[in-house]
Chains A and B, each alone.
Chain A
Amino acid sequence: MNMIQAVNSAMDVMMARDDNVVVMGEDVGYFGGVFRATAGLQNKYGKQRVFDTPITECGIIGVAVGMGAYGLRPVPEIQFADYIYPALDQLVSEAARLRYRSAGEFTAPITVRSPFGGGIFGGQTHSQSPESIFAHVSGLKTVIPSTPYDAKGLLISAIEDNDPVLFFEPKRIYNGPFDGHWDGPSKNWSKHPGGEVPTGYYRIPLGKANTVREGQDVTILAYGTMVHVCQNVVKETGVDAEIVDLRSIVPVDIEAIEESVKKTGRCMIVHEATRTMGFGAELSALVQERCFYHLEAPVTRVTGFDTPYPHSLEWAYFPGPVRIGEALKNIMKDA
């Protein structure tokens, strides 16, 4: 399966298991979604459970919160993460706080799916990575898969989770892993072990990272598309790096991070999102606080620049093989 099919399969599995799971969003119903993630679901489960919505993100999330309060388990889609901002009030002030402010009387068991990230010439409003905005909000969980296998297992866990979950799908790797060489041939998931996806029910726990490459010299913390870019850079540079795919950024798997950095003594953080106040800053602070006496080099962040996401200069902006390679060289220079 590719990642779209895996996401589709997760919703299919959950809709079959639980009558309360409903899917809603712009173009998700009859048409099956602009990325085809909900293709076939309306036909299979009916319009009462899979339906198109008006173009109003605050309405989509507000309605989902109300449905959650009734007892449903809504899976709303925001067509692009770049368009989630009209729903911020409903997410931050309502979904995130409902359990807390009602002392558990009401909850918001909703899973907000949204394609995110760049690398597709999406320009300013089809490329953003807003995860740190949500990571800053207590009460929300934020999940970002890097393979079809993870996407399905994590999405099933997210839908079953009784807390509101932001599920960001890196659209650059919907159809295949991306090694960072934008001018190279595109790959599909069929030759990648992460593309092997069981058709039935399985879960990957939220809050647990996945060490995708074991190594001794430096720990790379990444998620989403950047996991694949990092894997390739490590292969090309020959640095014996340990790559930890965080999978969930809230709650983050602090044990996996600590264990790895204490072993390697170095830590590099890679994300597409802009640098200042990005999630890398939190990771860097955690590593510094917990692994200070094990660190042999300053914690390094390789990120998008503090600019809006550009169109024509995308590959100068995107943290690709060159920038990650230089950073790796730099963090290893005293080794």
Chain B
Amino acid sequence: MSEFKMTTIEEMEAATNRLLETGAKVGADAWQFRVKNQTPHCKFGEQGVCCRICAMGPCRITPKAPRGICGCDAHGIVGRNFLKFTAAGAATHSDHGREICHTLYCTAEDGNYKVKDPDKLLRLAKEWGVETEGKDIYDLAHEMAEIGLMEYGKPFGYQKFLDRMPEGQKEKLIENEIAPRAIDREVSTSLHMAHMGCSSLPEALVKQSLRAGMADGWGGSMMGTEFSDVLFGTPKPIDTEANLGVMVAENVNIVVHGHDPSLSEMICEYADSPEMIAYAKEMGAKGITVSGVCCTSNEVAMRRGVPMAGNFLQQENVVLTGACEAIVVDVQCIFPALGPLSKCFHTKFVTTSPIAQMPDSEFIRFNAETAGENAKAIVKMAIENFKNRKPELVHIPDMKAKATVGYSVEAIVKTLDGVTNSQVDETGTTKPLLECITSGVIRGAVAMVGCNNPKIRPDYAHIELMKKLIANDIIVIASGCSAQAAAKAGLMDKSAKEICGAGLKRVCELADIPPVLHMGSCVDISRMMILAAELAKDSGLQINQLPVVGCAPEWMSEKAVSIGNYVVGTGIDTFLGVDPYVSGSSEMCELLTEGTRKWTGAAYTVETDIEKLTDLMIERIEEKRTALGI
């Protein structure tokens, strides 16, 4: 057995510093410098007490000026800002889900997009009560896509996926006005409520924040995930690698960045084609390497094993290697800085979505009908760009870690089937995991999600928290940039069982899994919600009773706030390492950290001391265990 060695934060930082030297040579800007220019941040903004929703303002709350011009107090202002923050996140995920529905609607037997997992489509159709008998799979796909699209704007009723919750939970959410109706309606209603002269009652604003979040988690995101699986295949365990060392100096390097797999899947498809590989060789390269950044990377890693070059705050590093022929992006979390940065190198910065257009980029409008030609044109452009590389600027840090990814709920259940005993157990359930938890072999589970944020040493919180959790026999499921941090460090290598507590180590050995399970991109946090619901149903408990918590230690985006709200809305306590701009209102703080409990059974814990954050999570998990008598 080879000794397990993690990649340390210090090593990653040294690699980044070396890349910044290249940047200095070519006069490149970087987030590290921009952060310095922006700090210290405005206190009013940080505390959430600055309001600019009408032209009477901007207003800000101080002890001398406790109310805005309209008379709104700090609690109302903070509450409205929080709601708008959430609504934007929900809109973002939901629009992503909508695009996927459209892509599903464009599938055809001989089209760019096909139905890769017809079984999953049939299961979903059955769940929604859609007749499948004797129906062509593509007719069914189009019908399901239309029904899915209706979820965004249907005039009556609640989100269909709420029926996946354990008995009684949906009713409780309806009773408390947290159950999401149409997805777009919740976003609109949020913006309506936050308009001047509408809601300023913190309780109402928090409730709507939860409902907008739930429209994302149990609506838009879930739709995005489920239909992405139908289109591109449901992830299964697959081996891959992570960190910048996955880029290959001799090859044409194409980096996909963004979120929607409709683009990245198509790019991967063409980059793999013999025709394009031959063309790359003609241009003097040895081949083509596609790697990813951010959530689109998670999507193609989960389904194709495409290596992950890095997470959010590493996006500029990809270009700084000098070996990136093209960075192809779609939507969300893309630094506009990539435009000017790419101009310092030979790198082509290719934007593809009308939703995310940026200066200094080459815009190739990508859509489902012409996806094949678009992708081919992009891959070709990258190949032809290989000759423009400046060899004196090329430096790829020799740093990568092995990772096993692809843990969809379906894959987790299949893995659990592997440890059942055919003489006593049923298969196809989460019961083996529940048994591990009930017996105490595993103490609980933490869902680690979220971004990077320069306010926290990048990746430090993700990695250190996970190390401590797994050492305490707490299994970690991860998604988004948190998952990539884990992968880069080596925590998704099966050998990482060596740094686990005895319980989790034994589980990893018997189930042949890494201690940190990659469940996908940020929309795939909906997978975690499904898993929690399944665990609750299989154990006969409510979700809020499970010894499970969520954590976003380095969160940054509005999407993260929407996620937090639906995780709390689902009944899972959520731990944040960065304050969500609410410290300016005691009432909002109280509501978010305690008040939501009466509606959902869960609340937020905000703790910026990362060491304390883990201890608080472990404490909460043990409290939940004690309450269950296990």
A and B from one assembly? no
Query: CB within 8 Å of B: which residues of A?
Result: none
Query: CB within 8 Å of A: which residues of B?
Result: none
